[in-house]
């Protein structure tokens, strides 16, 4: 079958199409005919080797993590799905076949029924951003109605979903975006919008209860200035901390290394009475089904910037890497 494969870490020319054997589902897995695959910035980061300590892959490995499609075969212990079922899933954080292929192995525990009101392209855009937003805002930050959360880069793939989810939870949302995207983020529910081309968010926003760290560089340190004492920073971009290394079952050396990497931001946060943590999304089919319910109720809507055909999947990754997408980038197979 055809797949987009990472041959070696580092260079773009090491991502290429290849014919690989048809995958065989394990006892607890589904074999899914992929109709569409949603792309995420982490896909390019993995190809560059930035996640090797966290997510070691057996190369060559099929690229991609988010998918939607139709079940064609189930393992012997699968009970919730049958051939012909339409599903969506994030298969990030596992080895084996990825999403950018004609067929993919999907753990039953990671899959959820595709929302009936979404097509396959729309459904493929959701899993990672949906799960990341839920795990960060609800589980880690424990966001409550009336609280204020800062979600920078509101027009991006994670931002467009996280803003809507935070509003569903009853929070007030602040965000940053460029002039041309202000109307978009306001339509998603953003209450305070800072045009980053004309203002610095840390000079404008005040008295926030939580920050979702989505922008690399010094943005997380700057965000400490807008937070109340007792608030929370949940970072998706690092630095990873020792608690994350322990949760991943890493050895003592990696716990020490990650502890050193995060020491500065934890110290700065502590001085302001703020808790810092790093979040690495985990696949969760049960939670994804709950998110699917919100999509079916139209409490949240997908935001898609551009759809590429499968044969242009490398172009899709390159486009995503430019950092200008408004919402999600999706590759369509069927």
Domain ranges of the chain: 2-126+303-332, 129-278
- 8 A C-beta contact, residue 236 and residue 279: yes
Local confidence pLDDT in tens for the 334 residues of the chain: 999 999 998 877 899 999 999 999 999 999 999 999 999 999 998 888 888 877 878 889 999 999 999 999 999 999 999 999 999 999 976 555 799 999 999 999 999 999 999 999 999 999 999 999 999 999 999 999 999 999 999 999 999 999 999 999 999 999 999 999 999 999 999 999 999 999 999 999 999 999 999 998 889 999 999 999 999 999 999 899 999 999 888 899 999 999 999 999 999 999 999 999 999 999 999 999 999 999 999 999 999 999 999 999 999 999 999 988 999 999 999 9
Verdict on whether the full-model pTM lies above 0.85 = yes
Residue (of 155, 150, 321) closest to 235 by Cα position: 150
How many angstroms separate the Cα of 295 from the Cα of each of 37, 136, 299?
18, 19, 6
Buried b (16+ CB within 10 A) or exposed e, 81-96: beeebbbbbbbbbbeb
Q: Compute CA 217 distance to the chain's CA centroid, rounded to the nearest angstrom.
A: 19
- Name the CA radius of gyration of the chain, rounded: 19
Distance CA 266, CA 179 (A): 33
> 79 by DSSP, 3-state: which?
coil
How many angstroms separate the Cα of 179 from the Cα of each of 89, 186, 191, 194, 311?
34, 12, 15, 9, 33
State residue 321's pLDDT score.
Answer: 92
239-244, long-range: CB < 8 A, 24+ apart: 239/265, 239/278, 240/54, 240/278, 240/280, 241/266, 241/276, 241/277, 241/278, 243/277, 243/278, 244/277, 244/278, 244/279, 244/280
Residues 6 or more apart from 330 whose CB is under 8 A from it?
36, 37, 38, 39, 121, 124, 125, 304, 306, 307, 308, 316
Residues 6 or more apart from 22 whose CB is under 8 A from it?
1, 103
State residue 93's pLDDT score.
Answer: 63
Residue (of 131, 121, 58, 118) closest to 92 by Cα position: 131
Angle at which helices 252-261 and 263-271 cross, to 10°: 50
State residue 50's pLDDT score.
Answer: 82
Examine domains 2-126+303-332 and 129-278 and report if their fold is the same. Answer: no
Topology (CATH) of 2-126+303-332: Quinone Oxidoreductase; Chain A, domain 1 (3.90.180)
Q: What angle do CA 285, 290, 294 make, to 5 degrees?
A: 135
Angle at which helices 127-134 and 285-296 cross, to 10°: 100
Topology (CATH) of 129-278: Rossmann fold (3.40.50)
Residue (of 211, 146, 141) closest to 176 by Cα position: 211
């Amino acid at each position: 079958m055809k797949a987009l494969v990472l041959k070696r870490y580092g260079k773009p020319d090491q991502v290429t199409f290849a014919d690989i054997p048809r995958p065989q589902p394990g006892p607890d897995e589904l074999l899914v005919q992929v109709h569409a695959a949603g792309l995420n910035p982490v896909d390019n980061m993995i190809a560059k080797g930035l996640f090797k300590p966290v997510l070691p892959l057996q190369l060559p490995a099929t690229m991609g993590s988010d998918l939607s499609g139709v079940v064609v075969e189930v393992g012997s212990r699968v009970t919730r799905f049958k051939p012909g079922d339409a599903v969506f899933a994030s298969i990030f954080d596992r080895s084996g076949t990825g999403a950018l292929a004609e067929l993919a192995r999907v753990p039953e525990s990671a899959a959820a029924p595709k929302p009936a009101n979404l097509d396959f392209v729309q459904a493929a855009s959701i899993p990672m951003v949906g799960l990341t937003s839920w795990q960060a805002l609800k589980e880690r930050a424990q966001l409550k109605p009336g609280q204020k959360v800062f979600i920078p880069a509101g027009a991006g793939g994670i931002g467009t979903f996280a803003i809507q989810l935070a509003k569903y939870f009853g929070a007030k949302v602040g965000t940053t975006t460029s002039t041309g995207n202000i109307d978009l983020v306001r339509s998603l529910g953003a209450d305070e919008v800072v045009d980053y081309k004309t203002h610095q968010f840390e000079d404008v926003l005040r008295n926030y209860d939580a920050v979702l760290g989505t922008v690399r560089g010094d943005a997380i340190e700057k965000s400490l200035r807008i937070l109340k004492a007792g608030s929370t920073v949940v970072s998706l971009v690092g630095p990873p901390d020792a608690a994350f290394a322990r949760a991943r079952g890493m050895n003592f050396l990696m716990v020490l290394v990650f502890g050193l990497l995060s020491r500065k931001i934890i110290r700065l946060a502590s001085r302001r009475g703020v808790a810092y943590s790093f979040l690495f999304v985990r696949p969760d089919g049960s939670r994804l089904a709950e998110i699917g319910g919100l999509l079916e109720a139209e409490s949240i809507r997908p935001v898609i910037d551009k759809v590429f055909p499968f044969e242009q999947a490398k172009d899709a990754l390159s486009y995503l890497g430019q950092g200008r997408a408004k919402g999600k980038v999706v590759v369509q197979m069927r």
